[in-house]
Structure 1
Amino acid sequence: MKRTFVFVLSLAQNHLIVSQLYQYHYVSEEKTWTEAQQYCSQKHTDLATVTNMKDMKRLISVSLGDIKEAWIGLYDQRNVNRAWCWSLPGVEFNKSETNWAADEPNNLGSEGPNCGIIWKNLSCNDRQYFLYRNSSKKYHLIQEKKTWTEAQSYCREKHTDLISGTKQLQDEEVKNETSSVGNNTYILIGLFREKWRWSDGSSFSFRNWTKGFDYQAEYKGQCATTVFGDGGRWKNENCNEKKPFICYDGEMF
Structure 2
Amino acid sequence: MERFLLIFWILSGWLILSLCLEHQYYFVENKMTWYQAQSYCRQHYTDLATIRNSEDMNHFLDVLSAQSSSDVWIGLYSEINWMWSNELEERNPGYTNWESTDNDPDFISANQFCVCMGDNGRWWDYNCEAKFPFVCYTGTPGGCKFVVINETMSWSEAQRYCRDNFIDLADIGNSTDNQQVQQLVPTGNWAWTGLYREENIYWSDQSSLSFTKWDHISNPIGSRGIICGATSEARLAKWRFLDCYTTRSFVCYRFREQVMRRRVKIKVKSDSSAILTDPNLQNKILRKLQEKLQENAPLKFVQQPDGKIFHKEKEKKRTEL
Aligning the two structures, in what range does the TM-score lie when normalised by the shorter sequence? 0.3 to 0.5
Q: Which has the larger radius of gyration?
A: 2
> When the two structures are superposed, what TM-score results if normalisation uses the length of structure 2?
0.36
> When the two structures are superposed, what TM-score results if normalisation uses the length of structure 1?
0.45
